[in-house]
Amino acid sequence: MKDISKATIDRLPLYLRTLRMAQDEGLDVISSEELGRRLEITPEQIRKDLASFGQFGKKGVGYYVNELKKSISSILGLDNHWNMAIVGIGHLGSALANHHSFISLGFNLVALFDHDPAIVGKTINHVKVEDVADLEKRVKELNIHIGIITVPGQFAQDVADRLVKAKIRGIWNFAPIRMKVPDTMHIVNEDLSIGLSGLSYHISRKF
């Protein structure tokens, strides 16, 4: 496949979410103009993005909502039904464990890990919290593909190293540090402090 820009890839989940909403509204067909109106993206950009992955829709008719939804889900790899584990079951880890959208997106939360004896053994959203000492063994046994790190920053690199050693396929990092991982490991960093600080900057300009 030819190189696809990050901006195009970042827009695909927006298209998918909008198509799901359109389907919930009972729409069977949607035009690029209507998609653009809902997302404030030009129809030309939408058609260009989708053309990067093949031919979709019918000229003069539009896109069949269910068909395009399935196609974008496949492009994003959501039909792989990835198995996930969360490491660090504090407030954030617990909130993520209770996030029901994972299932609708095709992700399976199969394991939770923590080191605190007061937390290990508890059950959150039907998943039992296990001792992080067993992390590598359980990653292999449960065929876990994605590791979600929600531990304090001082412990995050060690967790990442262990996930890499266990041959995890991707990391979603919520710890406030930049991880050192092999180039072959794909990692997405979600730094809440950066997001809030950026928001603070923009709203402070309004006063």
C-alpha torsion sign, points 36, 41, 45, 49: negative
C-alpha torsion sign, points 84, 85, 86, 89: positive
Token pair in block for residue 103: 């299932």
Model confidence, pTM? 0.83
Q: pLDDT band for 2, please (50, 70, 90 cuts).
A: low
Q: Which residues are annotated as a binding site for NAD(+)?
A: 88-93
Res 207 pLDDT > 80: no
CATH of 6-76, one of 1.20.120.330, 1.10.443.10, 1.10.10.10, 3.30.70.270: 1.10.10.10
Say what the pLDDT of residue 67 is: 95
Q: pLDDT band for 114, please (50, 70, 90 cuts).
A: very high
Q: Which residues are annotated as a binding site?
A: 88-93
The domains of the chain are located at 6-76, 81-195
pLDDT tens-place string over residues 35-93: 999 999 999 999 999 999 989 988 888 999 999 999 999 999 888 889 999 999 999 99
**CATH 3.40.50.300 for domain 81-195:** no
Contact 113, 131 (CB under 8 A): yes
CA 17/CA 23 separation, integer angstroms:
10
Res 200 pLDDT > 90: no
